[in-house]
């Protein structure tokens, strides 16, 4: 399923999605094919489930998004490691 199809099937909802096929262009993650894991009426429940699933399977590419967004724009950030204060 693509983003526009997801918006049509689940209007005005929070979604927990998994990228099935994706690639990077510049600093943007482009999701070509996605799977809807769960739908939510509020962001808190969506992020709680995201945290639980990410902890259980950190290799899955999961995102929490709202279908009111016309475009699915995901900016990639480089992870620089753990910072410790002295």
**Domain locations in the chain as residue ranges:** 3-75
Residue-wise over 46-73: b if at least 16 C-beta within 10 A, else e?
beebbeebeeeeeeeebbbbebeeeebe
Nearest C-alpha neighbor of 10 from the set 49, 55, 56, 65 = 65
Record the tokens describing residue 67, joined without a space.
């279908």
pTM for this entry: 0.86
Residue 8 is inside which H or E element, if any?
helix 3-9
> For 17-65, how does the pLDDT look when each residue is reduced to its tens digit (9 = 90+)?
999 999 999 999 999 999 999 999 999 999 999 999 999 999 999 999 9
What is the pLDDT confidence band of residue 76, given thresholds at 50, 70 and 90?
confident
Nearest C-alpha neighbor of 62 from the set 4, 22, 6, 11 = 22
């Amino acid at each position: 399923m693509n983003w526009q199809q997801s918006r049509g099937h689940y209007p005005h909802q929070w979604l927990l999605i998994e990228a099935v096929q994706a690639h990077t262009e510049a600093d943007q993650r482009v999701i070509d094919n996605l799977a809807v894991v769960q739908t939510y009426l509020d962001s808190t429940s969506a992020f709680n489930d995201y945290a639980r699933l990410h902890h259980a399977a950190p290799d899955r590419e999961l995102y929490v998004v709202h279908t009111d967004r016309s475009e699915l724009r995901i900016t990639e950030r480089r992870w620089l490691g753990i910072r410790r204060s002295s």
